[in-house]
């Protein structure tokens, strides 16, 4: 016998409470009139009679009630020996349908062995068929219909998912906990070593499940694969684009493989590369000449192995004209537009063209023609332009403010409508400059631009942040970069200038990624990957598109979303490899490429000793080996329910005895 929650046994200390209450009886004395007590000696009255326990039966019931409640909360259990061959176990056939099962004839062999095990079943107990991939899929209900079970086995077609024996074991634990019956579980798999969890404890099966493993791959097979592809998700200038691919070999000898770049089904480039034994090699393709719109691209190799499904890696690329950016500055400021334009132009995937104007030339400009607007330390704006700018931001536009001496002289900032607290000249102070103190590394503007170490700020404008997000602070806690939501749009505030007078930021390498990432963020260009892994999520709508209808097209051309999901779903988990198209009612489209997890390309198998430990028999069981149905297993029978019933009976008896004794006292 044991306790699942033994710390509750500390509650047994409460059994002293009834004893204390039974001793706490008031002793009544009859007062006697007396003239004086001055000649009496002071003593302490003591009586053994007053300390005797009375109503022993009632006391015993109360002590027993408290003890039973404590035992119930401690969750007692007893261990019982249950024979596995007592006819109560259900046959469960699980077929591995992960991506690696597409190598050679592994899946067909797993289905053949599953059919043989089903044929040997006497049919006295019901059986079930399941498939194991990203998760455990039950293909049938418990049934003794052999035809239905055979059809379920044949229906397993394989998937592009990654297998995890740890997740599989957790699913089996949940299945066993919800069923009073035990299971004889037969797992048909290639027993891929990459599917093993980090800790062997994650493979522990529940006591009433007997695991029998059927390995369909006897040894590790050599395999080449396109492990990764690095490519731009958007292209404005095809000549600047580069595509890099890593070719990996698992258990392979040194060999030369041919890699090809394919765009919309047409091979546009091909290169040979030498891959070291059990090693990796990188190939690079200069230029990516794709048509306007989205293109379906891939990198292929001549794998020359039994696993051809992983010899291709997909990625999607969008080509569009560069987006226009309006840069407004003062006429005497010639450095800020120069540094800003150089930063945008030096980006490898630059998708912007800068239109620089002075403040006086903005009166007739429409900000809606631009991806976003930059106000670089401007003075008062023309009233008509500022009014159009405010309306445009409230409907979804974006503005970038860079505040210098000109903006610092104003009481409030344009568009952002923030109060200017002070202008700080650090060059006139003792330290002569300020440095970056804190940065929010999760913000898109900071994520890839480093921590700005060594940047010196000689001048900064401090504003009251209000409800704006503080992205960066100086060492004196002055907010340097703020991100504020204005209506449906946003305003990004930079409390210094883009020249090299108020700071030396344009001369630091972090300036280029800061300008580029901020520009992409303000223009609404998603920082998406050209390719993702199967079972990852596709974002269907942004915060501004909650009311729009979404049309999702999967690799087969089908629409997996229901009408309700098309108007409410925010993400979609892609279950297979291929290209997924997302079409939105506002005209914005997207394409996402999904590839299988390349951990599945390592075809090394789990050692036989590890499989023996997992099965719990000390030897690997095969389809012709013993089933283990006659082995005895320990089972826990919990007793808390019986203890609670006994406690209720004791509570009822205590109530009866308490009423009886109290009634006697009233009569006396």
Domain identity same for 185 and 251 = no
Question: How far is Cα 515 from Cα 341, in angstroms, rounded to an integer?
Answer: 9
Question: How far is Cα 3 from Cα 20, in angstroms, rounded to an integer?
Answer: 29
CATH number at residue 406: 3.40.50.880
Listed residue (339, 315, 342, 373) closest to 532, CA to CA: 315
Confidence of residue 28 (pLDDT cuts 50, 70, 90): low
Q: What's the pLDDT at 43?
A: 63
Q: What's the pLDDT at 61?
A: 79
374 SS3 class: strand
DSSP state of 599: G
Examine the pLDDT at 598 and tell me if it is beyond 70. yes
Q: Which two tokens stand for residue 296?
A: 């379906």
Confidence of residue 208 (pLDDT cuts 50, 70, 90): confident
Q: What's the pLDDT at 327?
A: 95
Domain identity same for 334 and 307 = no
Q: What's the pLDDT at 179?
A: 83
- C-alpha distances in angstroms, 64 versus 51, 554, 624, 642? 22, 66, 56, 15
Q: What's the pLDDT at 582?
A: 92
Mean pLDDT of 168-194: 91
Question: How far is Cα 594 from Cα 575, in angstroms, rounded to an integer?
Answer: 9
Residue 595 belongs to some domain of the structure: no
Q: Which two tokens stand for residue 367?
A: 């900000």
Q: What's the pLDDT at 279?
A: 94
Looking at 474, 500, 523, the residue that finishes a domain is 523
Residue 565 belongs to some domain of the structure: no
242 SS3 class: strand
What is the residue-wise DSSP string for 613-651? HHHTSSS---TTS---TT-EEEEEEE-HHHHHHHHHHHH
Examine the pLDDT at 664 and tell me if it is beyond 70. no
Examine the pLDDT at 280 and tell me if it is beyond 90. yes
Residue 530 belongs to some domain of the structure: no
Looking at 523, 552, 575, the residue that finishes a domain is 523
Examine the pLDDT at 622 and tell me if it is beyond 70. no
Mean pLDDT of 69-87: 65
Q: What is the mean pLDDT of the chain?
A: 84
Q: What's the pLDDT at 662?
A: 57
Listed residue (175, 102, 106) closest to 135, CA to CA: 175
Domain identity same for 207 and 269 = no
531 and 593 Cβ atoms separated by less than 8 Å: yes
Mean pLDDT of 60-66: 81
Domain identity same for 253 and 162 = no
Mean pLDDT of 36-58: 59
What residues contact 584, with CB distance under 8 A and at least 6 apart? 541, 545, 548, 549, 550, 551, 590
Residue 242 belongs to some domain of the structure: yes
What radius of gyration, in Å, describes the C-alpha atoms of the chain?
38
Estimate to the nearest angstrom the gap between the alpha carbon of 435 and the chain centroid. 35
Domain identity same for 398 and 451 = yes
Kindly state the percentage of the chain with pLDDT values over 70: 85
555 and 577 Cβ atoms separated by less than 8 Å: yes
Using alpha carbons only, what angle is made at residue 502 by residues 497 and 507, rounded to the nearest 5 degrees? 80
Domain identity same for 269 and 356 = no
pTM: 0.68
Domain identity same for 412 and 466 = yes
Question: How far is Cα 244 from Cα 582, in angstroms, rounded to an integer?
Answer: 26
CATH number at residue 275: 2.60.40.10
What residues contact 63, with CB distance under 8 A and at least 6 apart? 15, 18, 19
Q: Which residue has the tokens 């039966």?
A: 57
Examine the pLDDT at 107 and tell me if it is beyond 60. yes
656: Cα within 13 Å, side-chain hemisphere: 8
Domain identity same for 146 and 198 = yes
464 and 421 Cβ atoms separated by less than 8 Å: yes
For residue 376, give the H/E element and its range.
strand 372-376
Per-residue pLDDT of 338-351, as tens digits, reads 999 998 887 656 67
118 and 92 Cβ atoms separated by less than 8 Å: no
| 420-425/436-439 β-pairing | unpaired
55 and 63 Cβ atoms separated by less than 8 Å: no
Per-residue pLDDT of 298-320, as tens digits, reads 999 997 888 999 999 999 998 98
Selected residue with higher pLDDT from 53 and 630 = 53
Mean pLDDT of 628-646: 64
Q: What's the pLDDT at 556?
A: 93
Count the neighbouring beta carbons within 10 Å of the beta carbon of residue 284.
12
Residue 554 belongs to some domain of the structure: no
What is the residue-wise DSSP string for 386-422? HHHHHHHHHTT-EEEEE--HHHHTSSB-TTT--BEEE
Mean pLDDT of 134-155: 92
What is the residue-wise DSSP string for 296-332? EEEEEE---SS-GGGSEEEEEEEE-PPEEEEEEE-TT
Domain identity same for 94 and 109 = yes
Domain identity same for 404 and 382 = yes
Listed residue (519, 522, 525, 524) closest to 346, CA to CA: 519
Mean pLDDT of 347-368: 85
Q: What's the pLDDT at 623?
A: 41
Report the chain's terminal Cα–Cα distance, integer Å: 48
Question: How far is Cα 116 from Cα 46, in angstroms, rounded to an integer?
Answer: 88
Estimate to the nearest angstrom the gap between the alpha carbon of 389 and the chain centroid. 39
What residues contact 524, with CB distance under 8 A and at least 6 apart? 371, 398
Per-residue pLDDT of 370-425, as tens digits, reads 999 999 999 889 999 999 999 999 988 999 999 998 888 887 888 888 888 888 88
Residue 77 domain boundaries = 2-27+46-81+638-667
Q: What's the pLDDT at 70?
A: 80
DSSP state of 216: S
Question: How far is Cα 514 from Cα 516, in angstroms, rounded to an integer?
Answer: 6
What residues contact 638, with CB distance under 8 A and at least 6 apart? 4, 75, 76, 77
Kindly state the percentage of the chain with pLDDT values over 90: 47
Q: Which two tokens stand for residue 542?
A: 């942004």
Confidence of residue 632 (pLDDT cuts 50, 70, 90): very low
Q: What's the pLDDT at 618?
A: 38
For residue 154, give the H/E element and its range.
helix 146-154
Residue 549 belongs to some domain of the structure: no
Q: What's the pLDDT at 141?
A: 92
Examine the pLDDT at 155 and tell me if it is beyond 90. yes
Q: What's the pLDDT at 108?
A: 95
Using alpha carbons only, what angle is made at residue 443 by residues 336 and 318, rounded to the nearest 5 degrees? 80
DSSP state of 497: -
Q: What's the burial of 658, exposed, middle or buried (CB within 10 Å: 0-12/13-18/19+)?
A: middle
Question: How far is Cα 283 from Cα 300, in angstroms, rounded to an integer?
Answer: 11
Residue 573 belongs to some domain of the structure: no
Confidence of residue 22 (pLDDT cuts 50, 70, 90): low
Domain identity same for 613 and 644 = no
427 and 552 Cβ atoms separated by less than 8 Å: no
Per-residue pLDDT of 432-463, as tens digits, reads 889 998 898 888 888 877 768 889 999 999 99
Query: Based on the structure, what is the number of domains in the chain?
Result: 4
Per-residue pLDDT of 532-583, as tens digits, reads 999 999 988 765 566 678 899 999 999 999 988 888 888 999 999 999 999 9
Domain identity same for 303 and 388 = no
Q: What's the pLDDT at 495?
A: 92
Least confident of 34-43, 69-78, 405-414, 621-630: 621-630
Looking at 265, 296, 320, the residue that finishes a domain is 320
> What is the edge-to-edge ordering of all strands in the sheet holding 266-275?
234-235, 312-319, 293-301, 255-263, 266-275
Q: What's the pLDDT at 666?
A: 46
Q: Which two tokens stand for residue 10?
A: 């500390």
| 2-3/76-83 β-pairing | antiparallel
Least confident of 475-489, 520-534, 626-640: 626-640
Q: At what angle do helices 511-523 and 335-346 cross, to 10 degrees?
A: 80
Q: What's the pLDDT at 322?
A: 86
Write phi, then psi, for 39 (nearest 5 degrees).
-95, 5
What residues contact 407, with CB distance under 8 A and at least 6 apart? 377, 378, 379, 401, 413, 414, 420, 461
Question: How far is Cα 633 from Cα 17, in angstroms, rounded to an integer?
Answer: 43
381: Cα within 13 Å, side-chain hemisphere: 26
Q: What's the pLDDT at 168?
A: 94
Mean pLDDT of 62-80: 78
Mean pLDDT of 352-377: 92
Confidence of residue 50 (pLDDT cuts 50, 70, 90): very low
- C-alpha distances in angstroms, 148 versus 93, 122, 126? 13, 16, 12
Least confident of 322-336, 509-523, 650-664: 650-664
Q: What's the pLDDT at 663?
A: 56
Please state the length of the chain.
668
Residue 490 belongs to some domain of the structure: yes
């Amino acid at each position: 016998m044991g306790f699942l929650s033994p710390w509750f046994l500390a509650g047994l200390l409460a059994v002293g409470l009834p004893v204390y209450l039974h001793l706490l009886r008031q002793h009544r004395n009859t007062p006697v009139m007396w003239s004086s007590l001055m000649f009496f000696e002071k003593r302490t009255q003591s009586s053994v009679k007053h300390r005797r326990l009375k109503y022993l039966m009632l006391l015993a019931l109360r002590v027993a009630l408290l003890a039973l409640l404590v035992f119930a909360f401690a969750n007692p259990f007893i261990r019982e020996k249950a024979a596995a061959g007592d006819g109560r176990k259900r046959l469960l056939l699980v077929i591995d349908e992960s991506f690696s099962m597409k190598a050679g004839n592994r899946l067909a062999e797993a289905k053949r062995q599953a059919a043989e095990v089903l044929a040997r079943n006497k049919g006295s107990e019901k059986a079930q068929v399941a498939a194991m991939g990203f998760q455990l899929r039950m293909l049938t209900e418990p049934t003794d219909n052999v035809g239905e079970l055979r059809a379920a086995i044949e229906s397993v077609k394989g998937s592009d998912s990654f297998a995890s024996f740890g997740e599989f074991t957790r699913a089996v634990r949940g299945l066993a906990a919800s069923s009073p019956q035990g299971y004889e579980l037969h797992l048909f798999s290639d027993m891929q070593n990459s599917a093993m969890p980090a800790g062997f404890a994650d493979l522990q099966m529940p006591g009433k499940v007997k695991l029998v493993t059927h390995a369909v791959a006897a040894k590790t097979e050599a395999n080449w694969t396109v492990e990764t592809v690095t490519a731009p998700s958007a292209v404005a200038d095809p000549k600047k684009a580069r595509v890099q691919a890593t070719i990996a070999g698992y258990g392979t000898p040194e060999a030369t493989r041919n890699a090809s770049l394919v765009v919309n089904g047409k091979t546009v480039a091909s290169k040979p590369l030498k891959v070291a034994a059990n090693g990796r090699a990188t190939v690079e393709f200069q230029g990516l000449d794709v048509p306007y719109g989205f293109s379906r691209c891939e990198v292929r190799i001549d794998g020359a192995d039994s696993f051809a499904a992983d010899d291709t890696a997909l990625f999607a690329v969008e080509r569009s004209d560069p987006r226009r950016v309006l840069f407004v500055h003062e006429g005497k400021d010639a450095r800020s537009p120069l540094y800003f334009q150089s930063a945008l132009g030096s980006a490898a995937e630059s998708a912007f063209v800068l239109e620089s104007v002075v403040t006086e030339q903005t009166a007739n400009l429409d900000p809606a023609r631009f991806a976003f607007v930059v106000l670089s330390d401007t003075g008062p704006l023309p009233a008509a332009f500022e009014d159009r700018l405010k309306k445009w931001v409230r409907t979804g536009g974006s503005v970038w403010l860079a505040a210098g001496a000109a903006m610092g002289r104003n009481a409030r900032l344009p568009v952002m409508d923030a109060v200017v607290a002070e202008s700080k000249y650090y060059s006139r102070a003792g330290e002569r400059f300020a440095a970056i103190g804190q940065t929010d590394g999760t913000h898109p503007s900071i994520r890839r631009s480093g921590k700005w170490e060594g940047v010196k700020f000689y001048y900064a404008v401090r504003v009251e942040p209000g409800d704006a997000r503080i992205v960066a602070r100086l060492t004196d806690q002055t907010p340097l970069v703020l991100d504020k939501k204005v209506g449906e749009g946003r305003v990004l505030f930079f409390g210094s200038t883009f020249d090299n007078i108020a700071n030396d930021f344009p001369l630091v390498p972090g300036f280029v990624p800061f300008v580029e990432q901020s520009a992409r963020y303000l223009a609404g260009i998603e920082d998406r990957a050209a390719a993702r892994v199967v079972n990852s999520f596709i974002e269907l709508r942004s915060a501004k598109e909650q009311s729009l209808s979404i049309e999702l097209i999967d690799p087969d051309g089908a629409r997996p979303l229901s009408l309700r999901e098309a108007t409410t779903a925010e993400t979609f988990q892609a279950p297979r490899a291929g290209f997924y198209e997302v079409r939105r009612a506002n005209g914005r489209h997207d394409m996402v490429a999904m590839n299988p997890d390349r951990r599945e390309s390592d075809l090394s198998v789990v050692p036989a000793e590890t499989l023996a430990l997992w099965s719990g028999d000390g030897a690997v069981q095969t389809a012709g080996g013993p089933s283990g149905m006659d082995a005895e297993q320990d089972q826990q029978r919990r007793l808390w329910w019986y203890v609670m019933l006994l406690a209720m009976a004791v509570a009822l008896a205590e109530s009866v005895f308490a009423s009886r004794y109290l009634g006697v006292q009233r009569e006396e």
